[in-house]
Amino acid sequence: MKFTARQIASILEGEVEGNPDVEVQTVSKIEEGEKGSLTFLSNQKYTPYIYKTNASITIVNDTFVPEKELSTTLIKVPDAYGAFSKLLSYYDSIKKTKSGIESPSYINNEAAYGKNLYLGAFSYIGAHTKIGDNVTIHPNVYIAENVTIGNEVTIFPGARICSDTVIGNHCVIHPNAVIGSDGFGFAPQEDGSYTKIPQIGHVIIEDHVDVGAGTTIDRATIGVTIVREGVKLDNQIQIAHNVEVGAHTVIAAQTGIAGSTKIGKHCMIGGQVGIVGHITIGDYVKIQAQSGVGRNVKSKEVLQGSPAFGYQDFNKSYVHFKNLPKTIHKLDSKDYL
């Protein structure tokens, strides 16, 4: 797909300096720019590259004044970085736009869907499921019975949406995510075996939530597992039964959250964090990567370590951790005595 400098300037409400009819069909870093590519300049340390780049179009701040002759056409905007991001989002939305119901696919007669549904081949929609407007469901997606999906939702290939799940508006479910499978509930018996506890709850995902590839969100044993508005989940995260994740919290890959834990809003949780069940984590908490959290956490705490404790205390302690062999040797030496 090709765009001219004039078209791009119109989208960004910018001003063209150079050839308004020059075309681009790809994007590049400014130092790697080639003919036919679009790039941007926002960081001053990359300014020398604008005089060398072969990129056909460069987005710059409107305060930029070239000191040498340029071979690239400029598009001047108030914020070059923001404009470039906006343009990438615009291009991505065009690229992902699909329509129609491909064959073979299956929609139960008792399911309902809104306008502009795209349903990819080999996908399945169960009975009594309701799907909103402008929903994109890629191939090989399974959506069970009694599911509710809002407007402007994208579900990528291989995702599994189990029964009774509710997904809000403007959500993105990435490949092979599983939402609403049974929680890990087994009752120990006197003979040492385990009996499965039926999981009869469901999952609610509110608006503007992203669920990463391979992430699993378990249905509640009784009641609801809930992911609040604006939450961003990375790949390969495990959210257990009856967990609540507060609004606008972000969680990095391979984190595991055990059952019935409540996480506050605007938290930031690093990769490979382990959180035990039945605890409460407050708002605006930050947990560093690979930490293990086994206690209630007050709002605005910053944690690191396993078991996790205060971030500043951890850094102070780490000085002694790494020097411990030397300290022991010194204590054992005759010179010290």
Helices (H), the chain: 5-12, 80-96, 311-332
- 94-216-225 Cα angle (round to 5): 105
Q: Nearest CA to 216 among 240, 247, 232, 192?
A: 240
Active-site position among 208, 241, 266, 278: 241
**What span, in angstroms and rounded, lies between the C-alpha atoms of 44 and 239?**
42
How many other CB atoms are there within 10 angstroms of residue 150's CB atom? 21
Q: Is 202 a catalytic residue?
A: no
Taking the mean position of all CA atoms in its chain, how far away is CA 148? 21
Q: Nearest CA to 216 among 185, 166, 177, 182?
A: 177
**What span, in angstroms and rounded, lies between the C-alpha atoms of 222 and 131?**
25
Give catalytic residues, as residue numbers: 241
